[in-house]
Amino acid sequence: MSLKKILITGASSGFGKIAAQTLALNGYIVFATMRNIKGSNAQYANELELWAKDNRVELRVLELDVTSDESIASAKENVLNSTNGSIDVVINNAGIFSGGLIESFTIDDYKKIYEVNVFGAVRVANAFLPVLRQQKAGLLIQVSSVLGRVVIPFGGVYDSSKFALEAISESLYYELKPLGVDVSIIEPGPFSTELIQKVLQPSNQVVATEYGVTAKLMGSYYENYTQQMQDPNLPNKPQDVADHILKLVETPNGKRPLRVVVDKVTGGVAEVINETASKVQESILRDFGLSELIINVEN
């Protein structure tokens, strides 16, 4: 049996980098993609290529900007040309984080966040799903967040982008299941990764001065959150996400769960929501005569 070929976005750092390395070390052919591999991410790209050479694994770094149709098309061509036209797993990991008062985010701020977290994932999926459908097998992994299931104050814009990704991904699960293509959503909780360090700040900072007590609450929240992320004993480790991605890749087609929570801090909350929502969705599907689309649950 040929080795599975895997493409992952946002592999310059964080979950993406660790997952790419974990998959490569387990014998898979990995296309680790990121934007600006000749520019702002040149160091990350070079380090990953050197790591692959030192570890003698099949990992290739490719340029892919999820906000660019042309970049995705070019990456797709490069991948398929080197794999005789096939791909087994596509992992939408690229994302940006944001925080602040809802009113302080401009429409342009929203667009920047959605362009990556929502539209970027859709672009990549739309590019590669025709290949998976033609193969009648494959896996699309969407890296979402626990904040795609619960809402926290001062995180509403980011949360909303992950809620959107969750809805799109679940719909894809139903639509692709009869065609032999699996969709799984990874829902990480709070992790200390580069994503947290690169927060997109809202453009209208002045409005915070008009929020009084709420602004003070926000300041206290972020101070506590920063301390939590800097705690070396934080139970959530980025490798946990990579290990769950590996587990999904190695699970047989048709047996993969839709959602997997990866969170030792607040995961219980998301799991309760997922279990409850699954029961509701099961009822809806039965009522509409779509029992064959009922969601698999994680063992």
Which residue in 13, 162, 169, 184 is the catalytic one? 162
- Residue tagged 């992950």 (tokens): 162
Identify the DSSP state of 150. S
Verify whether residue 174 is a known catalytic residue.
no
Verify whether residue 279 is a known catalytic residue.
no
Instruction: Please report whether residue 137 resides in a domain.
Output: yes
Q: Would the CA dihedral through 57, 38, 241, 93 be positive or negative? A: negative
- Cα–Cα nearest to 241, from 299, 190, 278, 173: 190
Give the pTM: 0.94
Verify whether residue 4 is a known catalytic residue.
no
Which residue in 13, 98, 104, 144 is the catalytic one? 144
- CATH code: domain of residue 227: 3.40.50.720
Looking at the DSSP assignment, which residues form a beta bridge with residue 199?
A: 97
Instruction: Please report whether residue 91 resides in a domain.
Output: yes
Q: Would the CA dihedral through 74, 78, 81, 83 be positive or negative? A: negative
Instruction: Please report whether residue 296 resides in a domain.
Output: no
Instruction: Please report whether residue 284 resides in a domain.
Output: no
Q: How far from each other are the two terminal CA atoms of the chain, in whole angstroms? A: 26
Per-residue pLDDT of the chain (299 residues; tens, 9 = 90+): 467 999 999 999 999 999 999 999 999 999 999 999 999 999 999 999 999 999 999 999 999 999 999 999 999 999 999 999 999 999 999 999 999 999 999 999 999 999 999 999 999 999 999 999 999 999 999 999 999 999 999 999 999 999 999 999 999 999 999 999 999 999 999 887 665 667 899 999 999 899 999 999 999 998 888 888 888 888 889 999 999 999 999 999 999 999 999 998 886 899 999 999 999 999 999 999 999 888 765 43
Quick count: other Cβ atoms within 10 Å of Cβ 238? 21
Verify whether residue 2 is a known catalytic residue.
no
Q: Domains in the chain: how many in total?
A: 1
Which residue in 28, 44, 158, 173 is the catalytic one? 158
Residue numbers of the domain that contains 103: 5-265
The tens digit of pLDDT for each residue in 45-103 reads 999 999 999 999 999 999 999 999 999 999 999 999 999 999 999 999 999 999 999 99
Looking at the DSSP assignment, which residues form a beta bridge with residue 89?
A: 6, 139
Instruction: Please report whether residue 190 resides in a domain.
Output: yes
Instruction: Please report whether residue 75 resides in a domain.
Output: yes
Instruction: Please report whether residue 77 resides in a domain.
Output: yes
Q: Residue 273 belongs to what H/E stretch?
A: helix 267-287
Which residue in 12, 161, 169, 184 is the catalytic one? 12
φ, ψ of residue 258 to 5 degrees: the values are -70, -45
Instruction: Please report whether residue 140 resides in a domain.
Output: yes
